Amino acid sequence: MEATTARDLSGRLDLCCINTATLGHREPIARVAQRVAAAGFTWITPWRQEIDERRPERDAEALRAAGLQVSGYCRTTALAHDTAAQRQQAIDDNRRALDVAAVLGARQLIAVVGGLADSSRDIDGCRLHILRGLEALMPTIEATGVRVSLEPLHPFYAADRSVLNTIAQARTWCETLDPLGRHFGIAIDAYHVWWDPALVSSIDDAGALIGAFHVCDWLRHTHEPLLDRGMMGDGVIDLKALRALVEHAGYTGLVEVEIFSRDHWWREDPDVVLRTCRERLQTAC
Amino acid sequence: MEATTARDLSGRLDLCCINTATLGHREPIARVAQRVAAAGFTWITPWRQEIDERRPERDAEALRAAGLQVSGYCRTTALAHDTAAQRQQAIDDNRRALDVAAVLGARQLIAVVGGLADSSRDIDGCRLHILRGLEALMPTIEATGVRVSLEPLHPFYAADRSVLNTIAQARTWCETLDPLGRHFGIAIDAYHVWWDPALVSSIDDAGALIGAFHVCDWLRHTHEPLLDRGMMGDGVIDLKALRALVEHAGYTGLVEVEIFSRDHWWREDPDVVLRTCRERLQTAC
């Protein structure tokens, strides 16, 4: 990777964000928000299952009362399905997510686009269905002013979680959906992209489209591809070099911690998790 | 994927090959060879742990006696290591593999290049070490006449098994190592590459460099990223379309079955496995 330098995060928790998945969704969002704020953070990214989407105002108020701003809202539901009715249902559901994101004051909805339709072996066909589904969100995106950040997931998830798998592919999708770059961006998660042989050029090409940067770590002998992610510094990703690439490409946004760790961090005291995140953001990222 | 047509494999077991990993390395190579031949195959790709590398002539004779020809030999050992002494040891080991491949009459040595060095977070640095290691094999490659087929592995393995992860990257490496394309080629395994958004163009660009084509299937809800591969037809890969792409790019070689399946096919009667491979090669590939 290039030897450019990233921003100094020491004492800059205002540049950092906690994605609530890091705490394992064990407590109500109001309690999570209090903990996140008490640990010194001012930004949060909640998940849909934590929010009462029929009456999101109350949860929005709880976040504000804790002194937090909302960076992103996680996340879209899968868009490739076998039938047109199922695809329409997914579009409607994602429109609701955009509406709720707006109520929360979120800057962006994180898009995890989904894997293959249930009975499909046609990955390119599913990708086209998903593009059409994203396109159908445009009126709601314009009405709400919430940007959609397409998150390429690790190729391990291509079958069942996301057929969007590289930064270069996300850039192509953004350019297809939104040539002016106003409504769609890219969420880069270190865990999903660190292996990419085209990492340097694809980050550079993504440039101003980069709308979010997520960190955790890839454990060298990870035993499980979904819920065994590591704390920053405990794995093999050169996070400082990766962040330098992203910032060299023009990214000035938040560094967001998102760790899925069923057997380790999700069993740990949430305040210990947050203290560890705070320390590692300043030393290992 | 493109709608070009692949060769018709019906009744063409002469175009097919059995990689012995498919049978789980449960029996001596002579017995495996007899079973493979009895199932109607004439090509085999054995693994190093099955061959007595100090006296490979006897195993070579066993394969010939069964009426089999050797397509590939699996596989190189990891080339990125923390110390120069370890790296040299790996080079020496891979030279021995080339010598043994020559004795077996194998057309190619399959190269799985290894993951990150034990204490490294520098994936690009490791890639450079590996390129130098492969370069150091050149005199032995020339002496033996055994071609090396670089096999990009699924990005899931980047930390611990292979930092070579896409067909495009393998092509760049081939061109770097061997501009005339005489000694290095690419082994394409459906399991490792099926998700790649750049699949069509990278296969097309690889063209005459494609030296091997391996098939199995990606199970939709695979629970384990190493030993849970599926029989062709049981998963989500459009193998016919993928083979059409490879053949459209100029590949006229064998279609080789390689299935790592600890909990299913490795527990099945080897003759049943081989009969299933024979059928699926003609119907699902």
Residues A46-65 pLDDT 10s: 999 999 999 999 999 999 99
Chain B residues whose CB is inside 8 A of the A218 CB are 158-159
Query: Is cis: bond before B64, omega within 30 of 0?
Result: no
Number of other CB atoms surrounding residue B164 within 10 Å: 28
Distance CA A82, CA A116 (A): 9
Whether chain A has a CB inside 8 Å of the CB on B82: the answer is no
Kindly tell me if the per-residue pLDDT of A3 is higher than 70.
no
CB nearest to B155's CB, from A122, A163, A195: A195
pLDDT of residue A224: 78
Inspect the interface and report whether the beta carbons of B195 and A155 lie closer than 8 Å.
yes
Type and span of the H or E element at A59: helix A56-65
Type and span of the H or E element at A135: helix A123-135
Disruptive mutation site among B121, B166, B222 for chain A (greatest number of A CBs within 10 Å): B121
If chain B, 285 residues long, is cut into consecutive pieces of 10 residues, what is the mean pLDDT of each piece? Answer: 77 98 98 98 98 98 98 97 97 98 98 98 98 98 98 97 98 97 97 98 98 98 90 98 98 98 97 98 97
Instruction: Please state the φ and ψ torsions of residue B253, each to the nearest 5 degrees.
Output: -85, -160
Distance CA A86, CA A119 (A): 13
Q: Which residues pair with B188 in a beta bridge?
A: B213
> How far are the Cα atoms of A43, B75, B81, B114, B192 from residue B78, in angstroms, in the given order?
43, 10, 8, 4, 18
Kindly tell me if the per-residue pLDDT of A130 is higher than 90.
yes
- Which tokens hold the place of B46? 């054995």
Whether chain A has a CB inside 8 Å of the CB on B169: the answer is yes
Is pTM beyond 0.90 here? yes
Kindly tell me if the per-residue pLDDT of A143 is higher than 90.
yes
| Contact (CB, 8 A) for A212 and A185 | yes
Distance CA B94, CA B124 (A): 22
| Contact (CB, 8 A) for B255 and B17 | yes
Distance CA A99, CA B144 (A): 66
Whether chain A has a CB inside 8 Å of the CB on B34: the answer is no
Q: What confidence category does residue A4 fall into, taking pLDDT thresholds of 50, 70 and 90? A: low
pLDDT of residue A44: 98
CB nearest to A238's CB, from B121, B154, B168: B121
Report DSSP state, residue A162: B
| Contact (CB, 8 A) for B159 and B201 | no
| HEC-encoded secondary structure of chain B | CCCCCCCCCCCCHHHEEEEHHHHCCCCCHHHHHHHHHHCCCCEEECEHHHCCCCCHHHHHHHHHHCCCEECEEECCCCCCCCCHHHHHHHHHHHHHHHHHHHHHCCCEEEECCECCCCCCCCHHHHHHHHHHHHHCCHHHHHHHCCEEEECCCCHHHCCCCECCCCHHHHHHHHHHHCCCCCCEEEEEEHHHHCCCCCHHHHHHHHHHHEEEEEECECCCCCCCCCCECECCCCCCCCHHHHHHHHHHCCCCCCEEECCCECCCHHHCCHHHHHHHHHHHHHHCC
Instruction: Please state the φ and ψ torsions of residue B18, each to the nearest 5 degrees.
Output: -105, 120
Of A154, A222, A219, nearest in space to A193 by CA: A154
Whether chain A has a CB inside 8 Å of the CB on B238: the answer is yes
Inspect the interface and report whether the beta carbons of A220 and B116 lie closer than 8 Å.
yes
pLDDT of residue B114: 98
Number of other CB atoms surrounding residue A29 within 10 Å: 23
Whether chain A has a CB inside 8 Å of the CB on B194: the answer is yes
3-state DSSP call for residue A149? strand
Q: Is A96 exposed, middle or buried (0-12, 13-18, 19+ CB in 10 A)?
A: middle
Q: Which residues pair with A16 in a beta bridge?
A: A255
pLDDT of residue B4: 67
3-state DSSP call for residue A184? strand
Beta pairing, strands B147-150 & A255-257: unpaired
Number of other CB atoms surrounding residue A198 within 10 Å: 18
Distance CA B285, CA B281 (A): 5
pLDDT digits (tens, 9 = 90+) for A173-206: 999 999 999 999 999 999 999 999 999 999 999 9
CB nearest to A159's CB, from B116, B164, B218: B218
- Which tokens hold the place of A83? 């039938």
Kindly tell me if the per-residue pLDDT of A253 is higher than 50.
yes
Distance CA A209, CA A94 (A): 21
Beta pairing, strands B255-257 & B16-19: parallel
Q: Which residues contact B243 (CB under 8 A, 6 or more apart)?
A: B6, B7, B213, B215, B255, B285
Distance CA B254, CA B15 (A): 5
Q: Which residues pair with A43 in a beta bridge?
A: A69
pLDDT (average), residues A91-108? 98
Of B207, B210, B95, B230, nearest in space to B151 by CA: B210
Report DSSP state, residue A271: H
Instruction: Please state the φ and ψ torsions of residue B114, each to the nearest 5 degrees.
Output: 100, 160
Whether chain B has a CB inside 8 Å of the CB on A155: the answer is yes
Between A and B, how many CB-CB pairs are < 8 A?
Answer: 89
pLDDT (average), residues A97-103? 98
> How far are the Cα atoms of B27, B103, B112, B260 from residue B97, in angstroms, in the given order?
21, 10, 12, 22
| Contact (CB, 8 A) for B220 and B236 | yes
How many angstroms separate the CA of residue A156 from the nearest CA in chain B?
A: 6
Chain A residue at shortest CA distance from B169: A197
Q: Which residues contact A131 (CB under 8 A, 6 or more apart)?
A: A173, A176, A177
Of A144, A145, A207, A198, nearest in space to A175 by CA: A207
pLDDT of residue A220: 95
Q: How far apart are the first and last CA of chain B?
A: 15
| Contact (CB, 8 A) for B205 and B243 | no
Inspect the interface and report whether the beta carbons of B156 and A121 lie closer than 8 Å.
no
